[in-house]
A = this chain, B = another copy of it.
Amino acid sequence: MQTETLEALLFLVPASALASLGFAAFLSFRILRLPQGTEEMRSIAAAIRQGAGAYLKRQYTTVSLFFVAMALVLSLLAAAGFLAPYVPVAFLTGGFFSGLAGFIGMRIATQANVRTAAAARESIDKSLRVAFDSGTVTGLCVVGLGLLFISLWYFFLNGNYRELDTSLRVPRITSIMLTFGMGASAMALFARVGGGIFTKAADVGADLVGKVEAGIPEDDPRNPAVIADNVGDNVGDVAGMGADLYESYVGSILSTMALASAAGLGLGGVGVPLLLAAFGLLASILGTFLVRTREGADQKALLRSLRRGVYASTFLTAVLGWFLVLLILGPDLLGVYASILSGLLAGILMGLSSEYYTSASYTPTRNLAASSQTGPATVVIRGLSLGMSSTVFPVVVVAGAIGASFFLAGGGANFNLGLYGVGLAAVGMLSTLAITLATDAYGPVADNAGGIAEMSGQPPEVRDRTDALDSLGNTTAATGKGFAIGSAALTALALIAAFQDQVQRLLLADGTRAAMDLSLLNPRVLMGLLLGATLPFLFAALTMNAVGKTAELIVAEVRRQFREIPGIMERTAAPDHAACVDICTRAAQREILAPAALAILAPILTGLVLGVEGVAGLLGGATATGFLLAVMMANAGGAWDNAKKHIEAGAYGGKGSSSHKAAVVGDTVGDPFKDTSGPSINILIKLLSMVAIVFAGVILRFSLF
């Protein structure tokens, strides 16, 4: 394809991003026009909205301080010539767009929850539509803003370097843009970890005192922590998840663009990931129209309707991808198309694997539920062992995707082309993110709707409908997590490859130093590998402890309110919900600092001691154990949750039996596993790579040994 045609075609990218944002705005207004149910429902929803708003306000304050400080550091580095002058601004805009995506998603989710509950008074299909539309807004904003961010900067830099020939201009642009992902990653870490600590501390705290000590049911408005629990679903599972996938998305595209240059593919190589993302976005928008169901639909029918949307989008993207590669790269490089396919396929397999290990429809979770008969210790042992075994299949899938995308793209003959293939596999997996994220972000809305229905005393059939949607949300959340983890692993690898390429470029420019030796037996690499491998363990420990500590604060506060505010249990006095929200908000901001410092300082300090080779080892080690730990924690947590639900549905003595008590212990252990530590590790491994890329020049200059 001619350069001019291609350059014109690239305008499709911001166009589709704007279309996505426009469609999101349309859906939002449609949601906002829907009825909000009774007065009581409205006031509960307002409390949740308020709490979520208060949390985000506080979080953005903390984050702003961090971003300003980091931008200053980056400006100094840019002034000293270690970074392109655009990096500090790109860092801020990346973080801003990521935060904005989470903000909009959460705003609409906290409006949609009550409307989903209100719609459930009429029919399950209407209710599904509202919740799913809200999830779709999140998905569209994340992807739309991500693509907008990338294309704005691309066109700006392209204009800026207009005087250079394409063959020089494209590598220059992609090498600069590679350093642009750190803002998104840092924002994602804050949103995910902070939200994760908030949501699980509130959940665990509310359960420990409410269910266990006071003997009141879940979502009972008398529990002072119940609003915090519902707020948590929004700040953790909507805003956190959105920011998480925003940075995966941006990271995968930026690294693939950089690898395209390294492979010498020029503008065409850059165009493929960008246009694939744009086509995937349009396909996702079309796919959302296929999600609908009829009244009386069972779990399977509901799931089928969501899957229909996802699979149709995937299929459409796969077809468009073929033309894309053929037209832009030509028939000789059609092998690259196989890379895209392997990414799409791996994404689906990862989701199915998570579902198999965490759904009570399959053996693993059923056996886990059975083990509750011999007490909590057996439940914990079996759950951990389930989580550990569940890492094998995803590893085989991701390793297979790496091998397939590398070698089918032609990596055997042209190493950099193979790495480009791996990057494209990640982009392929994430190309339909708008709709996969929609099916995921729909869950917390349905969950909240159930809470509102319960608290406002709706008739049982309303709660039954929201329960059906919520329970489906657990399955889609598991699928979504598998997808998030798989894409994180592939993206992290693409980023490591891009890091290596960036360093080689700097070394080449220096001219006085030897090329990197990334051999596994190079002691620097080996030491880095071991140190990197331990980072996810430490990170998981820090975040789990943060949840434990904050939950203990909530327990103390709830006990205090029960003691000091007479009449709560008799419903004559209202508990102080805001106090619990406030405790979680403050604690989340405080506890986030150590994990964030770890993620940012680890690669820099390692680099200063062990050099860039040590950093490469660090990234490899962190990706390997991070991937495993994330899968293990997500699946063990999901399985414990569903094993408990399985028992609550009547198995092994049902609610209140000793089996149930044992299963509740497993579920509580699983809470920080699946919603705090596990998903945050995804971000950790990418943020480490991003920091390494940005600080590569500094490390090269100042490393001690």
Contacts and interface: CB of A to CB of B under 8 A. Distances in A.
Interface of A: 204, 208, 212, 371, 374-378, 380-382, 384-386, 388-389, 391-392, 395-396, 398-399, 402-403, 406-407, 411, 418-419, 422, 493, 496-497, 500, 518-521, 523-527, 529-531, 533-534, 537-538, 540-542, 544-545, 547-548, 552, 555, 610, 616-617, 620-621, 624-625, 627-628, 632, 664-665, 668-669, 672, 705
Given A519-B518, A523-B403, A533-B625, A376 B378 contact: no
B552 A374 contact: yes
A385 B77 CA distance: 37
Nearest to A516: B519
Nearest to A411: B523
A496 B616 CA distance: 19
A579 to B, nearest CB: 20
Q: Which of A374, A375, A411, A493 has the most CB of B within 10 A?
A: A374
A208 B381 CA distance: 14
B541 A388 contact: yes
Nearest to A208: B374
Given A531-B396, A533-B628, A402 B523 contact: yes
Contact of A520 (B374, B384, B620, B625): B620
Given A388-B537, A520-B518, A545 B382 contact: yes
B544 A384 contact: yes
Contacts of A399: 526-527, 530-531
A548 B610 CA distance: 43
A555 B392 contact: no
Contacts of A402: 523, 526-527, 530
Contact of A624 (B500, B519, B533, B627): B533
Contacts of A552: 374, 378
Given A496-B521, A519-B518, A533-B624, A538 B388 contact: yes
Q: Is the interface of A mostly helix, strand, loop or mixed?
A: helix
B624 A529 contact: yes
Contact of A375 (B208, B392, B398, B545): B208
Copies in the complex: 2
Given A385-B548, A395-B533, A526-B620, 5 more contacts: A389-B538, A391-B538, A396-B531, A496-B520, A534-B628
B525 A520 contact: yes
B534 A620 contact: no
Contacts of A497: 521
24 contacts: A374-B555, A376-B376, A377-B668, A380-B665, A381-B547, A381-B548, A384-B544, A385-B541, A385-B548, A386-B541, A388-B537, A391-B538, A392-B538, A399-B527, A399-B531, A403-B524, A520-B529, A520-B616, A520-B617, A526-B620, A529-B620, A621-B624, A624-B624, A665-B665
Nearest to A632: B537
A669 to B, nearest CB: 5
Q: Which of A204, A392, A621, A672 has the most CB of B within 10 A?
A: A621
A544 B376 contact: no
A384 B538 CA distance: 11
A280 to B, nearest CB: 25
A380 B669 contact: yes
Nearest to A396: B531
B531 A395 contact: yes
Nearest to A398: B530
Q: Which of A399, A402, A527, A627 has the most CB of B within 10 A?
A: A399
A389 B555 contact: no
Nearest to A621: B624
* Nearest 8 interchain pairs by C-beta: A377-B668, A388-B541, A385-B541, A399-B527, A533-B624, A389-B541, A388-B537, A406-B523
Contacts of A525: 520
Q: Which of A406, A519, A524 has the most CB of B within 10 A?
A: A519
Given A375-B208, A620-B520, A527 B380 contact: no
Contacts of A411: 523
Contacts of A632: 537
Contacts of A672: 381
Contacts of A523: 402-403, 406-407, 411, 418, 422
A555 B385 CA distance: 20
A537 B392 CA distance: 8
A198 to B, nearest CB: 17
B496 A419 contact: no
Nearest to A501: B521
Contacts of A386: 541
